[in-house]
Structures are given as C-alpha cells and as structure tokens.
Amino acid sequence: MYNTRVRGILIQGNKSYQDVSRDIIKPLNDKTPMWWWITAFLATGALFWGVWGFYNTITVGIGTWGLNNNVAWGWAIINFVWWIGIGHAGTAFSIFLLILRQKWRTSINRAAEAMTIFAVMAAGLFPLIHMGRIWDGFFIFPYWNTRGPLWDNFNSPLFWDVVAISTYFMASFVFWYIGMIPDFATIRERTTSAVKKKVYGALSFGWIGNARGWLRFETAALLLGGMAAPLVVSVHSIVSMDFSVSVVPGWHTTIFPPYFVVGAIFSGFGMVLTLMIVMRKLYKFKDYVTDGHLDAIARILTFISLIMGTAYLTELFMAWYSGSEYEMFTFMKNRVTGEYKYAFWTMLTCNAIIPQFFWFKKIRKNITMVFIMSLFINLGMWFERYVIVVTSLSRDFLPATWATYQPTITEIAVFSGTIGLFILGVLAFFRFVPTIAISEVKGVLKETTTLKSFTDEQH
C-alpha cells in the first residue's frame, strides 16, 4: 500500500487542536495590517486603469489594440491562457494530491483554490472583451432564436472553451465553498463579535459537525474532487485546441493538449509557491506551511520543468523531422532566431533551465531564492504563450502580409486591471476567510506530530 507518511512532521510546534483554530483565525480578528491597505490601494489603482482599458476597448473598438490582419490574436489570448494556467493550481493541489493521498496538501489547498477562483475570473474577462461587441455576447448561448433558429457551432473549440471554463469555475467554486463550511462553523462558535457570528453563521449553512454530516461531507468532497480532476485535464486541452485545430505553423501539432496541461500545472504551482511564501511570511504561518511544504513544491516544479523542456525540444525536433518547411521556418527562423528570439529564449531559460537549480538542496532551502525562482516561472509561462501566439501569426505562409505586433497602452491597461482584480481577490481572501483549512489540518495533526510512535508501531 501507499506509504503516505514519508514527509515527516507536517505541522510543527506541537500544536493542540485549540492552537490550530486560534492561529489560523487570528489574522481575521487582528486589525487590518498596513501592508494590506497599501497593496489594496495599488491593486485598486491597477484595477481602475484596467476599467479604463475596458471602456476604451468597448467604446472605440478592438482597433485600440495593436492587432493587425495577420496577428489577429495578441495580449488578450496570451493573458487569457496565462491566467487559466495559473487557475489550474487549486484543483491540481486539492484534487490530484487528494487522490494521491498526499497529506501535505492540507495547509495549502485552501489558498490554492482561492487563487484558482480569482485567476479564472481574471481569465474570463478576456474572451468577453475580445469579442469587441460585448453586448452581443449572449449569442454564445444556444437559445431559441429568430434566425432559423441557428444554433451554435458545437464543433468549434471556441465554443467548447466557453462551456469548459464556466464549468471549471463553477466546479472549483463549489469545491472550495464546501471545504470552507466547517471552518465557518468554527468561527461562528468561537467569535465574540455579534456581527461575525451572524455573517459566518449564515455562511456556515448551519453546520454542526456530527458523524453523518462528516460522512456526507467527505463523500461529497471526494465526488466533487473526482469529477473536477478530469475537468482540469480537459479544460486546458480544450484551450490548446483553440490553437491546434488551425493550420497555422507552430500551432498545428498533436503535442499541444498534454503540453498545455503540463504547462498549466507548472504555472499554477509556480504561482502557489509565490503566494505561499508571501502568506507564510506575512501571517507567520511557518508552523503550518513549513520548509518541508515549500521543498515538496520545489521538487514537483523541478520534475514538471523537465517535462516542459522535453516538450520544447520535441517541438523543435518535430519541426525538422516532419519535413515541413513552414514548421521549420516558424521554429528555427522565427522563434530560435529572428525578431522574437528574446521571447523564445526567455521562455526556455525561465521554464526549462532556471527550475533545474532546485536540484540543489541549498537553493531549495533558501526561501528568498525559491521566491525569486517562482517569479521567473510565472514570467516564463507568460512568455511561452507570447511565443506561441505572436511568432506563429506574425510570419505565416504569405510574406506579403507579414506584420509585427506591439501591444498598445489599452492592452497593457486591461492586463494590469486583471492583475489588480486578482490581487484584490486574494487580499479579500486573506482578510475574511481562514486561509488554511482548519478542519483538514486538525485531521492530519495527530498522526504527523506523533510520527515517532507511528514509525515505532510499523517495526
């Protein structure tokens, strides 16, 4: 059977159950710290700039973006794919690690899921806005209309995208919320503030935590998780099909679905690492998010980075091996060398080379280094999408139509707006919700703190 206890002590500091509740709820009761206000102020500024970008796009049109006849997709789709990728962390953490019985997930899953929700919200704005005529957005729903009725094209990956992403958002949210219910009840019973008792009482849906309640809770969590796991794989496969079902060189490859799914999990874990280091520093959660947790994430990233490197090399190899001169041109002349080579090499360095430094224990133990490397991964994954979208479109079959692409201020504004939205969401999560799953941590507390006696039993 599985040996799931190889990770040693998960929660440090010999905590009692009471300590766990107190430590995790403490930030909710403390005065709002200064860093929170400053970050919220900056994020609101970014959000307002994004609102301006939205307004500009909708009132003037897509002409405010740097797109042209050839490069018809730009920052909007790049950022969309980037955010969706980041949004894969929550489910990857919660569900894959739940299925693999990795108990170390308990300190991290709540925050990773919250991140998923806000990242998917940020991502969802891009398809909405890039329609140009946003008021016709309801055309996407297959409703009974007076044009035939003419239905959607159910064979289009763009339609699949809409279905998949809205389902993914709903499923992630439901899973996240169910997990929080017992913790809201904990706050309800502990708090002395009448307002909090009322609000968290309402949010806890009347949870009492009896045996049957827990049985159904566990079963529901497993069912929802089990259903969301294939969804993680399908969402990013579908996103990759937006590209791969076309005939554009550099997109038309069968490697795309797995390559995108792995890339999504890679960027998601990268963002989780960034966020966890910040959270444990600001809230002094070192006993819960231990060095062991960060070490585990770093190891996973090293492994996924190897897969990413393999995928990049496979693409290059296939460009040559396929004998297609267009593929060869896109990869060798337009990516490895050429106008956008800086983007290609940034991608390769950040995703395939830098994470390999995690092989060294010294680097894995140096949290500042880990933090910087996690930022590089986020950057590298952005450049990956940039390389895929822009280099393939800027120079395709007809040299007469070759064009370069530069983002305009409006596109930059919209992107910064989504970053602002994401950060505000995460800040609200930090402030009002227990950032670590209290009941789940309690569930693994005993068996890991009494690890020694457990291993004694084994022999």
Partner 1 sequence: MSNTNIIAVYEDEQVLLKAIDSLQSNDVKVKDVFSPFPIHGIWDKLKQTTRLPYATFIYGAIGAGLVFAFLYWTSVVNYPLKFGGKPLNTLSFIIIMFVLTINIGTLLTFLTYFIREKMYPGKKVEMPVPRTTNDQFAIVIEKDADMNEDQLKKINSLLNDSGAIEVKESTVNYEA
Question: Which residues in 120-149 contact partner 1 (CB under 8 A)?
Answer: 142, 148-149
- Given candidates 52, 96, 217, 345, which one binds partner 1 under the rule CB under 8 A? 217
Judged by beta carbon, residue 91 or residue 346, the one nearer partner 1 is: 91
Query: Least distance (Å) from partner 1 to the CB of residue 441?
Result: 8
Residue 227 binds partner 1, judged by CB under 8 A: yes
Q: What angle do CA 171, 177, 181 make, to 5 degrees?
A: 150
Residue 18 binds partner 1, judged by CB under 8 A: yes
Residue 96 binds partner 1, judged by CB under 8 A: no
Our CA dihedral for 347, 351, 357, 363, rounded to 10 degrees, sits at 100
> Which phi and psi (to 5°) does residue 133 adopt?
-95, 85
**Residue ranges in 255-366 assigned as alpha helix (H):** 256-282, 291-321, 325-328, 341-348, 361-365
Residue 453 binds partner 1, judged by CB under 8 A: no
Question: Which residues in 273-312 contact partner 1 (CB under 8 A)?
Answer: none
Judged by beta carbon, residue 204 or residue 374, the one nearer partner 1 is: 204
Could you tell me the CA-to-CA distances from 299 to 92, 266, 280, 355, 364 in Å, in that order?
A: 15, 12, 19, 9, 8
Query: Least distance (Å) from partner 1 to the CB of residue 169?
Result: 10
- Given candidates 60, 134, 223, 403, which one binds partner 1 under the rule CB under 8 A? 223
Question: Which residues in 21-60 contact partner 1 (CB under 8 A)?
Answer: 21
Residue 433 binds partner 1, judged by CB under 8 A: no
Whose CA is closest to 330, among 251, 264, 410?
Answer: 251
Judged by beta carbon, residue 78 or residue 224, the one nearer partner 1 is: 224
Q: Is 218 exposed, middle or buried (0-12, 13-18, 19+ CB in 10 A)?
A: exposed
Question: Which residues in 256-275 contact partner 1 (CB under 8 A)?
Answer: none
Contact flags string 147-166 toward partner 1, x per CB under 8 A: -xxxx-xxx---xx--xx-x
- Residue 276's CB: how many other CB atoms inside 10 A? 24
Tokens for 289?
Answer: 């998010």
Stretch that binds partner 1, among 5-13, 55-63, 168-176, 264-272 (CB under 8 A): 168-176
Query: Least distance (Å) from partner 1 to the CB of residue 343?
Result: 31
Tokens for 434?
Answer: 């227990």
Stretch that binds partner 1, among 37-45, 220-228, 359-367, 391-399 (CB under 8 A): 220-228
Judged by beta carbon, residue 207 or residue 312, the one nearer partner 1 is: 207
Which helix (DSSP H) or strand (DSSP E) does residue 113 occupy? helix 109-130
Residue 439 binds partner 1, judged by CB under 8 A: yes
Judged by beta carbon, residue 384 or residue 440, the one nearer partner 1 is: 440
Query: Which distant-in-sequence residues (6+ apart) come within 8 Å of 70 by Cβ?
Result: 393, 394, 396, 401, 402, 403
Judged by beta carbon, residue 219 or residue 401, the one nearer partner 1 is: 219
Query: Which distant-in-sequence residues (6+ apart) come within 8 Å of 376 by Cβ?
Result: 350, 354
- Residue 226's CB: how many other CB atoms inside 10 A? 12
Stretch that binds partner 1, among 31-39, 74-82, 229-237, 407-415 (CB under 8 A): 229-237
Question: Which residues in 403-432 contact partner 1 (CB under 8 A)?
Answer: none
Residue burial 248-259, b: 16+ Cβ < 10 Å; e: rest: bbbbbbeebbeb
Stretch that binds partner 1, among 17-25, 28-36, 336-344, 403-411 (CB under 8 A): 17-25
Contact flags string 177-216 toward partner 1, x per CB under 8 A: -x--xx--xx-xxx----------xxx-xxxxxxxxxxxx
CA distance 306 to 299: 11
Residue 446 binds partner 1, judged by CB under 8 A: yes
Residue 230 binds partner 1, judged by CB under 8 A: yes
CA distance 59 to 15: 57
Residue 440 binds partner 1, judged by CB under 8 A: yes
Tokens for 144?
Answer: 């009974």
Q: DSSP letters along 244-259, please?
A: HTS--TTT--TTHHHH
Which residue ranges make up the site for partner 1 (CB under 8 A)? 16-18, 21, 142, 148-151, 153-155, 159-160, 163-164, 166-167, 170-171, 174, 178, 181-182, 185-186, 188-190, 201-203, 205-220, 223-224, 227-228, 230-231, 234, 238, 438-440, 442-443, 446
